[in-house]
């Protein structure tokens, strides 16, 4: 068994998803959602945000626990691959309450904590799936995300890395992707600093990945570790009492955003989707709040101050 996904992975995913929806094993919340993209001017940058208003969010548990853990024994009807990884240590499972079709995740078979950093093999498994989706899905761009720690917006404590397709790229380009367009690939063990847009009012660390060749486990781990090191330094300097961050990965870049708060004004939960600019509003009041206060203010409250321009010797975790 290796890390290769089956060649028809994308078809297996689609078939499993359609079957689960028609058997009511998945509660798709997207059909009642409306989307609105705004192009917001922040300093010299135009940043894209998407507001998704849900009219019904069916059945989703607010928070899981180790005792009531849906990933200890994922439902067979939601299981896309029963074993994944060189040591068969993972499963690939559909999200039961998606807002975007075919939202799925890698879950560990054994319980591992969502507060632990991603291992080299978890990173490689994520990257290989992203490569496979890129090769077979001609319509959508996908991203993977990992909500790590108590203030990251995660709801389940059992380790899971999620995969979702992005909004139409004609309309919405995540700021992290705009940032890498102006940069060469990052060299993780050099003096080079990760990218950070000074116009965005929260700390974020972005590394462009080389696209000419597929990265190996050790390289992916170096990229992840160098971004995580910056996030930990920011958390420590701001005297955070916990380690929380969002990790976002595509075939083109990785980003880590250290987090101070999981929620804004106790009503709007922000996870990795939020820090990428995708706001999920569960009712009109929350949508009004986002528009009134502004997405940048919300993300500023949920993150830490931007550190663009601070030299590399400033960073010592």
Name the residues that contact ligand AMP, by CB under 6 A: 52, 60-61, 70, 78, 93, 95-100, 103, 147, 154-156, 160, 162, 269, 271, 273, 278-280
Residue number, 85 or 269, with CB nearest to ligand AMP: 269
Task: Let me know if 160 is a catalytic residue.
Answer: yes
Least distance to ligand AMP from the beta carbon of 7, Å? 25
Closer residue to ligand AMP (CB): 162 or 226: 162
Closest approach of Cβ 252 to ligand AMP, in Å? 20
Closer CB to ligand AMP, 73 or 236, in the complex = 73
Position with the least CB separation from ligand AMP = 70
Q: Which is nearer to ligand AMP, 99 or 254 (CB)?
A: 99
Least distance between ligand AMP and beta carbon 70 (Å):
3
Q: How many CA atoms lie within 13 A of 280 on its CB side?
A: 19
Q: Name the catalytic one among 55, 160, 213, 301.
A: 160
Q: Quote the least distance from Cβ 312 to ligand AMP, whole Å.
A: 32
Q: Looking at the DSSP assignment, which residues form a beta bridge with residue 93?
A: 79, 105
**Catalytic sites, residue numbers:** 160
């Amino acid at each position: 068994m290796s890390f290769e996904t089956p060649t028809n992975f994308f078809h297996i995913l689609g078939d499993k998803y359609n079957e689960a929806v028609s058997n009511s094993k998945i509660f798709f919340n997207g059909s009642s959602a409306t989307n609105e993209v705004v192009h917001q001017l922040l300093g010299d940058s135009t940043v894209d945000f998407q507001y998704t208003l849900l009219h019904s969010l069916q059945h989703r548990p607010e928070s899981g626990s180790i005792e009531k853990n849906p990933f200890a024994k994922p439902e067979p009807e939601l299981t896309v691959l029963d074993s994944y990884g060189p040591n068969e240590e993972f499963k690939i499972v559909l999200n039961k309450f998606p807002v975007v079709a075919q939202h799925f995740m890698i879950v560990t078979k054994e319980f591992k904590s969502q507060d632990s950093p991603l291992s080299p093999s978890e990173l490689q498994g994520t990257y290989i799936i992203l490569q496979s989706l890129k090769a077979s899905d001609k319509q959508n761009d996908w991203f993977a995300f990992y909500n790590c720690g108590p203030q990251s917006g995660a709801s389940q404590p059992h380790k899971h890395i999620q995969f979702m397709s992005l909004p139409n790229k004609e309309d919405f380009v995540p700021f992290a992707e705009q940032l890498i367009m102006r940069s060469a690939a990052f060299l993780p063990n050099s003096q080079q600093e990760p990218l950070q847009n000074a116009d965005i009012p929260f700390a974020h660390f972005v590394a462009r990945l080389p696209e000419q060749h597929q990265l190996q486990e050790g390289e992916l781990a170096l990229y992840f570790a160098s971004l995580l090191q910056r996030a930990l330094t920011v958390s420590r300097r701001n005297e955070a009492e916990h380690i929380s961050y969002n990790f976002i990965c595509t075939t083109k870049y990785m980003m880590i955003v250290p987090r101070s708060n999981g929620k804004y004004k106790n009503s709007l939960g922000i996870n990795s989707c939020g820090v990428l600019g995708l706001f999920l509003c569960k009712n009109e009041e929350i949508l009004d709040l986002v528009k009134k206060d502004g997405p940048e203010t919300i993300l500023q409250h949920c993150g830490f101050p931007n550190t663009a321009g601070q030299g590399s010797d400033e960073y010592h975790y």
